[in-house]
Amino acid sequence: MHGIPYTDMVSHDPDFEDDANEAIKSLKSRVSKLEKQQGKIMSTEADLVAAQAALDGKIATVGTDVAALIAKVATLDPAAQAAIDAEVAALTTSSTALGAIDTEANPVPAPVVTPSA
């Protein structure tokens, strides 16, 4: 039907206008659904950003605790220092594990490719 004048299409297909109107209604409905989904996705992204901020705060707290323990280690006798070293190692392992969870939960998003016209 490409290139055929509208009046010719209507005269060859008496249902053309009705079919076109139904197609337009269908498209409007689909666009509306897409807009609603976009809102949900944006909400989910906001939730993810908030969770990321909370996790970053907890990781910072662990880092502060590790630094405080390291400072205390310098003033302890060898036996106490060994116990603290073990605790620092455990906290460092936990901090690393939290970082891995954070990386897994928040992968770097793929670049958005905009189709060229």
DSSP string, 43-111: HHHHHHHHHHHHHHHHHHHHHHHHHHHHHHHTTS-HHHHHHHHHHHHHHHHHHHHHHHHHHHHSPPPPP
**pLDDT tens per residue, range 82-117:** 888 899 899 999 888 888 887 877 777 777 777 776
Q: Quote the pTM value.
A: 0.36
Phi, psi of 55 (to 5 degrees): -65, -40
